[in-house]
Amino acid sequence: MNYCIISFFFTICLYLPTLVPAQIQLLNDEFDDSRSLVNWKNINIVEQWNIEQLESYSIDNGSPGKLQMIPRTASWFGGWRGPLLYKEVSGNFVFTTKVDVLGRDNTLPIDDCNLAGVMLRHVRQYPNGALDPVTGWISSDNNYLFLSIGAAKNNSGLCSPNPMSCTAPHFEVKSTIDGTSVLAIQDIDTTSTMIRIARIDSVFLVLYRLESDQTWIVHRRYNRSDFPDTIQVGFVTYTDWNKVSSYTPEFHNRTQIEGVLCNTGQPCNPDVIGEFEYARFDSLNIPIGIGTDFLDTNDITDAEVLSFLDFESAPYCPSTTTAVLPIGSDAFQQYIAQNAIILKNTVAMNAIVLVSAMDSIVLDKNFEINNSSSMDVDLNGCNQ
């Protein structure tokens, strides 16, 4: 197969073998370039709710090197649907991020139900949000799983280990099936944590790691056989439950709650900012010899789970990578490798591609880029 190589010293066309590594890491985002925001789907736009529940959201802007989400009054519980920025992911995977939560005055939120975290959710295709009475949203059409951090509910019977002395900050883990939410709260001593969720077919393993910890903690195990192969994976922020709960899910989900609504009845008090340092996807590598039932802690212990999930998270830096997946219109894509990158894909109109490798950038003869798109190339690469 014919290729052209661009390097510091020469440009030459030659034959090279095909190299096709796993592609899931191409979903990664280090949140160091504001242009990557276009790769994150906004639930309010995709599902055509005709509102915006985020007052602002940005990458490498509101908070340098982070994705920042500041929600209006909106929440996730039962039939209530809040904001979500996500990517669609198929098959098994491991997802890792680091989240920091604070109030709008940069301290811990005071009121209950001000949190930010990671959500996994059914893909939904609504032609017009909740406005279509036939094919639009219904209250039982909420199916998701998440782990979040912030201020959940102080001294709640849902809190462990001491329900009546359980003050924020908290973890809140929630599984919602057909609009019915089951949640658990745990008090912690920090507003910053790493979250890792692994999908193994219908089983989801939810882990966290505090900065003071030396290892990951297996927090919950869930069977979500109702989840399809392709799901939404991304970030949530939710706030101001006192105001949210004064509305029905139907009204809340299709209404941007601000202005005059905040001066009627219960006043609005949205008070959370979620900041995320990175979004990293990894393939699963389950060792041979452990059990088969990930829901049974006797068959597969937490220690056995950690034998393949207690790894350090780091930016993706392969020695060589091959780009085979097409890049869609208006998308932003980074390819970074230590040594070489081979481009075999197509780039649609108005896309932006950044390519960086220390030794060479290889263009396959079938590589195509639309003339309205751009490609920036450098030989800086990355270090493993």
What CATH number did the domain enclosing 186 receive? Answer: 2.60.120.200
Q: Domain residues for 364?
A: 2-21+318-378
pLDDT digits (tens, 9 = 90+) for 214-231: 899 999 999 999 999 999
Amino acid at site 159: C
CA distances from 44 to 97, 126, 158 (A): 23, 11, 30
Q: Which residue has the higher pLDDT, 9 or 274?
A: 274
Check residue 11 and give its pLDDT: 40
Are 252 and 373 part of one and the same domain? no
The DSSP letter of residue 267 is: P
Torsion (CA) 132, 134, 140, 142 in degrees, nearest 10: -50
Do the domain assignments include residue 193? Answer: yes
**Is the same domain home to 206 and 142?**
yes
Q: Give me the mean pLDDT over the 157-166 stretch.
A: 81
- The confidence score (pLDDT) of residue 201 equals 97
Q: Are residues 364 and 341 in the same domain?
A: yes
105 and 195 part of one domain:
yes
Q: What is the mean pLDDT of residues 181-197?
A: 95
Give the pLDDT mean for 78-106.
96
The first and second tokens of residue 223, run together, are: 């069977």
pLDDT band at 19 (very low <50, low <70, confident <90, very high): very low
Q: Is residue 216 part of a domain?
A: yes
CA distance 16 to 25: 23
Do both 328 and 184 map to the same domain?
no
Determine the 3-state secondary structure of 87 from DSSP.
Answer: strand
135 pLDDT band, cuts 50/70/90, is: low
Q: Which of 215, 146, 213 is nearest to 181 (CA)?
A: 146
- Does 46 reside within a domain? yes
**Does residue 5 carry a pLDDT above 70?**
no
Q: CA neighbours within 13 Å on the CB side: how many for 352?
A: 8
Summarised one tens digit per residue, pLDDT across range 265-322 is: 999 999 999 999 999 999 999 999 999 999 999 999 999 999 999 999 999 999 999 9
Residue type, 249: P
Q: How confident is the model at residue 212 (pLDDT cuts 50, 70, 90)?
A: confident
Could you tell me if 238 and 82 are in contact, meaning their C-beta atoms sit under 8 angstroms apart? yes
Q: What is the pLDDT of residues 110-122, one digit of tens each?
A: 788 999 999 999 9
Is 383 inside any structural domain? no
Q: What is the mean pLDDT of residues 343-349?
A: 92
Residues 6+ apart with CB under 8 A from 380: 356, 358
- The predicted structure's pLDDT at residue 144: 97
pLDDT confidence bin for 4, thresholds 50/70/90: very low
Query: What is the rounded distance in angstroms from the CA atom of residue 139 to the CA atom of residue 87?
Result: 23
Whether residue 160 lies inside any domain: the answer is yes
Any domain includes 136: yes
Query: 54 with 152, same domain?
Result: yes
Residues found in the chain: 384
Residues 94 and 68 in one domain: yes
pLDDT band per the 50, 70, 90 thresholds, residue 55: very high
Residue 13, pLDDT score: 38
Secondary structure of 322-365 in the HEC alphabet? EECCCECCCCEEEEECCCEEEECCEECCCCEEEEECCCEEEEEC
Residue 366 has pLDDT above 80, yes or no: yes
Q: 326: closest CA among 295, 300, 347? A: 347
Mean pLDDT (the chain) is 90
Percent of the chain with pLDDT over 90: 76
Q: Is residue 230 part of a domain?
A: yes
| Distance in angstroms (rounded) separating the CA atoms of residues 124 and 116 | 22
pLDDT value, residue 71: 98
Closest CA to 56 of 67, 42, 70: 70
Same domain, 44 and 17: no
Say what the pTM is.
Answer: 0.92
Q: Nearest to residue 320, comparing CAs of 13, 15, 100, 17?
A: 17
Tracing tokens 């202005």 back to the chain, one arrives at 259
Boundary residue ending a domain (309, 328, 360):
309
Q: How confident is the model at residue 127 (pLDDT cuts 50, 70, 90)?
A: low
Whether 384 maps to a domain, the answer reads: no
The CA distances from residue 150 to 63, 66, 227, in Å, are 18, 18, 27
156 plus 254 within the same structural domain: yes
Q: CA 229: distance to chain centroid?
A: 17
Q: How confident is the model at residue 156 (pLDDT cuts 50, 70, 90)?
A: confident
Q: Are residues 208 and 336 in the same domain?
A: no
Report the pLDDT value the prediction gives residue 109, as an integer from 0 to 100: 84
Return the higher-pLDDT residue of 138 and 195.
Answer: 195
- The total domain count for the chain is 2
Phi, psi of 154 (to 5 degrees): -65, 140
Look at residue 2 in the predicted model and tell me its pLDDT: 43
Give the contacts of 47 (CB within 8 A, at least 6 positions apart).
Answer: 124, 125, 126, 129, 137
Cα–Cα distance for residue pair 308/265, rounded to 1 Å: 51
pLDDT reported for residue 131: 62
**Considering 309, 330, 350, which residue would you say is the last residue of a domain?**
309
Q: What is the pLDDT of residue 61?
A: 92
Q: Which of 309, 338, 361 is the last residue of a domain?
A: 309
| Tally of CB atoms within 10 A around 95 | 22
**Alpha-helical runs (H) found in 110-211:** none
Whether 200 and 284 map to the same domain: the answer is: yes
The answer to whether residues 230 and 333 belong to one domain is no
Distance CA 222, CA 294 (A): 9
